[in-house]
Amino acid sequence: MIRLNPIFRDHVVFQAGKPVRVFGTGSGEVRVSFLGEEKTIYADGKEWLVELKPQSYGGPFSMELSLDGHEITLNDIMIGEVLLCAGQSNMQFTMAEEATPSSSYESDLFLRTYTVDRPEANKPLTPEDGWVCCDAESVGKWSALGYLTGRKLREKGVPAVGIVLCAQGASVIQSWMDTDSLKAPEFQIAQEKLCEDHMVYSQWNAPSFLYETMFKTVTPFSFGNAVWYQGESNDSPAEGAVYVSLLGAMIQSWRREDRDEALPFVIVQIADSRRNEGWFAVQKAQEEAPAVIPHVRTVKSADVCEKEMIHPVTKGPLASRIADAVWLYQK
C-alpha cells in the first residue's frame, strides 16, 4: 500500500527555487504530475521520493498523483517561502498567549501553517488539520513567531508564506540531534551536570527522540530557511560550554537529512531570564554561531523582549528581525 506523507494536502506551500519533493512510504507505482512535469517511480516497500524541478513564485496550482492506481488531486498549491520553525516553548508559544490584541489579527489566504505532531498533549493544531490558511478567527492557535514572521514577509512582497511548526516545549537540543552526532566525546556529559529538564521531561528528552519522531517526519521537504529558538533547557554550565558545538552538529545533520547542505538557519538568541552561568554561556554560543557555522544568522532578543521572563509575551519586534534575516537570504 502506498502512503503519502501527511504534509501533502490541499493548500500546501512549496519553496520557490528549490526542488519540489513529494514523498511517502509503501510499495507500488507512484506517478506525480505538476506544472507540466510528470514522473513515475516504483516504490519498493520502504520510503519513496519523487523530485521535481524548482519553480518560481506563483499559484494557485494543482498537483495530480496516482498512488498504485489511487488518484489524488492536491488543490490550491502555492510556490513561495517556507520556514521550518523549530525549537522549544518560545517557538511553540501561541498567538493567544502573545501580547497582540486579537482585534489586530488579520486573515490572509496566502499565509499558511502546517504543524508537526508532538508528544505533549494539549495541541492546538495537529497534522490532521493539514495546511491551515490564516484566519483571524483561529490564528490564536498559531505559533506567535510563525504568524508574526509570516506577516512581515508578506508585507515585504512574498506572494505566499508557509510556516512548518516543529517545536516541543522544554526540549533539549540533544533530543533534536541524530545518534551519530551525539557520539562525539565532548557531548558525553554526566547526568548530574545536565539541565534538570533532561530528567523532568524525560518523555521527549531522550537522545535523538524528537529528531526521529518530529523532524524526520517532514524531511526531505524543501525549506527556504530554518528558524531555531531553543536553549533554555540546556542552561547548565557544562552544556552551555559546548552548546555552539551541539548546535553546529545538529545543523549539519538536519541539512544532510533534508538534502540541502546550505539550508540557511536563523538562530534566535534566548532572552535575558534566568541570568546564570549556563544561561550566559548559551547566549554567547548563539551569538558566536555565525562565525563558526556557515549560512547562519543570529537575531538578538534581549533588547526587544520583556526582562526576567522565560516566555516573553511581546514577540512582534523579534519577528521583524527574523523576517529581515530571512529576507536577506532570499535577496
**pLDDT over 70, % of the chain:** 99
C-alpha cell at 294: 556557515
Q: Which domains does the chain have, with CATH numbers?
A: 3-79 (2.60.40), 80-330 (3.40.50.1110)
Q: Rounding to the nearest 10 degrees, give the CA dihedral for residues 138, 144, 147, 151.
A: 120
C-alpha cell at 154: 508578506
Asked if 247 and 293 count as a contact pair (C-beta separation under 8 A), the reply is yes
- Digit-coded pLDDT (tens) for 120-133: 877 888 899 999 99
Q: Report residue 179's pLDDT band, with 50, 70 and 90 as the boundaries.
A: very high
- Digit-coded pLDDT (tens) for 214-229: 999 999 999 999 999 9
pLDDT at 331 over 60: no
Separation between Cα atoms, residue 113 and residue 83, nearest integer Å: 9
Q: Is 82 exposed, middle or buried (CB count within 10 Å of its CB: 0-12, 13-18, 19+)?
A: buried
- Digit-coded pLDDT (tens) for 145-173: 999 999 999 999 999 999 999 999 999 99
| Weakest mean pLDDT among 8-22, 93-107, 192-206, 229-243 | 93-107
What's the whole-number mean pLDDT along residues 198-220? Answer: 97
- Digit-coded pLDDT (tens) for 301-327: 888 777 777 788 889 999 999 999 999
Q: Rounding to the nearest 10 degrees, give the CA dihedral for residues 138, 158, 215, 206.
A: -70
What's the whole-number mean pLDDT along residues 43-53? Answer: 94
| Weakest mean pLDDT among 27-31, 273-277, 319-323, 327-331 | 327-331
What's the whole-number mean pLDDT along residues 36-57? Answer: 96
Q: Report residue 26's pLDDT band, with 50, 70 and 90 as the boundaries.
A: very high
The pLDDT score that the predictor gives to residue 43 is: 95
In sequence order, the 6+-apart residues with CB closer than 8 A to the CB of 208 are 174, 175, 177, 178, 179, 182
pLDDT at 272 over 90: no
- Give CA 322 to chain center in angstroms: 13
What's the whole-number mean pLDDT along residues 85-112? Answer: 94
Pairing of strands 58-67, 70-87: antiparallel
HEC secondary structure over the chain: CCEECCCCCCCCEEECCCCEEEEEEEEEEEEEEECCEEEEEEEEEEEEEEEECCCCCEEEEEEEEEECCEEEEEEEEEEEEEEEEEECHHHHCEHHHCCCCHHHCCCEEEEEEEECCCCCCCCCCCHHHCCEEECCCCHHHCEHHHHHHHHHHHHCCCCCEEEEEEECCCCCHHHHCCCCHHHCHHHCCCHHHCCCHHHHCCCCCCCCHHHHHCHHHHCCCCCCEEEEECCHHHCCHHHHHHHHHHHHHHHHHHHHHCCCCCCCEEEECCCCCCCCHHHHHHHHHHHHHHHHCCCEEEECCCCCCCCCCCCCCCCHHHHHHHHHHHHHHHC
